[in-house]
Chain A
């Protein structure tokens, strides 16, 4: 399975500011995914990021709020823009890997608190 790291691991931010979360994978992967887990909730997919193309956003998530970069096959960033307390969540990146490529593996997550 792929080894995934995220930076920062946690942050406390003021409302109205933006935070960029980095995701690094130890192998080249075609697709990277960004998820959010709000307090007490399950994981929700924000967007799918392919290298060399625009990210595909899920219903309820927009590029202006969550811009994503995917400059190469091992790296991606997610920015949480103009933050409000409702954005307090754990943000997770994941990749598809393995023999079937149907299994997704997750990074350790970025725990964000917006005051």
Chain B
């Protein structure tokens, strides 16, 4: 049962344009969501998170949007840079219930080209 889904395995974007990565979840108990970036041969790097009490969180070029009714979140990267090329994972947890486990999506490989 895949509770966190990233339906696009890959995305190609031109440098300077917006990258939009999408994530859907099925468990209504999830109340904390995170995005990680992963380069080959490295561990995932935390990018940005959002609590279910918010619908938007912004940090520099990265903005995460949460639509609880649709059980959907998205990560916007503006402007996209070649160094953003990596695999992006969304993850979710039911933090308020003391349930610490992160459930990860399958990842989306972003390629930013000149």
Query: Which residues of A approach B to under 8 Å, CB–CB?
Result: 1, 4, 31, 33, 41-45, 48, 58, 92, 94, 96, 102-109, 111
Contact = CB atoms under 8 A, between A and B. Distances in A.
B70 interface: no
B25 interface: no
A23 B111 CA distance: 31
Interface stretch (B60-68, B73-81, B101-109): B101-109
Contact of B43 (A1, A44, A48, A107): A107
Contacts of A42: 89, 104-107
A107 B44 CA distance: 8
Contacts of B100: 31, 33, 48, 96
B79 to A, nearest CB: 25
A41 B105 CA distance: 9
Contacts of A105: 46
